[in-house]
Amino acid sequence: MNAYHHPVKPCSASIAAALAVGMLVNSPAHAGALAYVANGGGLGNDDNTVSVLDTGSNTVTATISIGTLGQTNYRAIAMNPSGTHVYLADYYNECIYVINTSNNQVSAPIPVGERPFGVAVSNNGALVYVVNDQDSNISVISTASNTVTGSIDVMGSSPLVPHPGPYGIAANLAGTRLYVTNNADNTVAVINTQTQTQIDTITVGNTPYPTPYGIAVNPAGTRVYVANQGEDTLSIIDTATDSVITTLDVGSGPTGLAVNAAGTRVYIADEYDGAVWVIDAKTNTEIASIDTGANLAGIALNPDGTRLYIADSGTSQVQVIDTSNNTRLTPVDVGVSPVSMGQFTQPNTIFVGSFEPGAK
């Protein structure tokens, strides 16, 4: 199915042996929950590091050197719900690196499919799902053995698009569904995790080329939010019917998404305007636009939802937002070209609010 070839050697046993242990720099005790920021999302401008950010003090407490394998590209990273391990995708070397957060050591990388782009961890922490862009499938990793135990095909909505270009991925808290954005054919694939098969395909956007990118599921599992980067819109999906119920205009080049634990707010990173959009999930309306910087990408909340962290590849910083008043705080310097698509902070998986849009 895939006729694309590239000169970079994929992850192999020899590479795994060479990178079995990462380098740790400056690791004092931390006061708050940690965020792991992947640096190296820009072509030809790769940092090959992960910055460890203490959200209690908003300072970088450690820098982890992943290694130098020629051209790399770290765009996706995800932390498990217990906060004990982080999973980093290397797009060009086709590996997943596993970081132990107790000592920031890096395990031998796990070979996956061609061009891994998105990463998500199941709510019980047992499985890691890796979207392979060029293979149009998902590698399923068992966290008990750190090995690939299965593969799920991702198909588009049209036989004319044999390679739908899956990018972003999100899992519901119940562990029953995965949602995957297909960048080439402008759809979202719905995956049944029990059968490990695709059960539905949802077209998003209002134009021929919305190019869906980031994706997030609310805690109740009733809504899925999709950032359409090429169309500058947000599609909102009702999971009961697997259909788009509304599409909102949001800035210029939306990328990453985050939903708070109450399900009442949706935060969208706007790459080209350098802003964060805040959506009221009950009314599906914009309530704030926060000017932060340039080239925003990955976005995540700290566990209690009081701070929002956004990877800014244009300034090599993490932008910080106080969610109580939607104001920008002092940004944190990290490595070169951070992108960090995915849950790069420890998620808050406990429902704490009184409202969930679409809840029955």
- Sheet with 59-65: list strands edge to edge: 23-25, 59-65, 49-54, 34-39
Q: Is residue 342 part of a domain?
A: no
**Does residue 347 fall inside a structural domain?**
no
Tens of pLDDT, residues 283-300 = 999 999 999 978 999 999
User: For 133-183, how does the pLDDT look when each residue is reduced to its tens digit (9 = 90+)?
Assistant: 999 999 999 999 999 999 999 988 776 677 788 999 999 999 999 999 999
Tokens linked to 24? 């740790």
Q: Which amino acid would we find at residue 102?
A: S
> Residues 35-78: pLDDT tens digits?
999 998 655 556 789 999 999 999 999 999 886 555 568 889 99
In-domain check, residue 345: no
Residue of 259, 297, 293 whose CA lies nearest to 279: 259
Residue at 354 is within a domain: no
Model pTM score: 0.90
What are the backbone dihedrals phi and psi of residue 18, each rounded to the nearest 5 degrees, phi first? -70, -25
Domain range for 163: 13-333
Please give the Cα distance from 220 to 104 (Å, whole number). 32
Report yes or no on 204 lying in a domain: yes
Confirm whether 288 is domain-assigned: yes
Q: Is the distance from CB of 278 to CB of 290 less than 8 angstroms?
A: yes
Q: What CATH number does the domain containing 48 carry?
A: 2.130.10.10
Q: Give which of 329, 298, 331, 296 is closest to 314, Cα–Cα.
A: 296
* Residue pLDDT, tens place only, 224-242: 999 999 999 999 999 999 9
Q: Residue 7 falls within a domain, yes or no?
A: no
Q: Is residue 257 part of a domain?
A: yes
DSSP run (H or E) holding 13: helix 13-18
Residue 140 · residue 153 · CB < 8 Å: no
**Residue whose pair of structure tokens reads 């998620």 in the numeric block:** 347
Three-class secondary structure of residue 14 per DSSP:
helix
Which amino acid belongs to residue 49?
Answer: T
- Domain count for the chain, please give it: 1
DSSP code at position 125: S
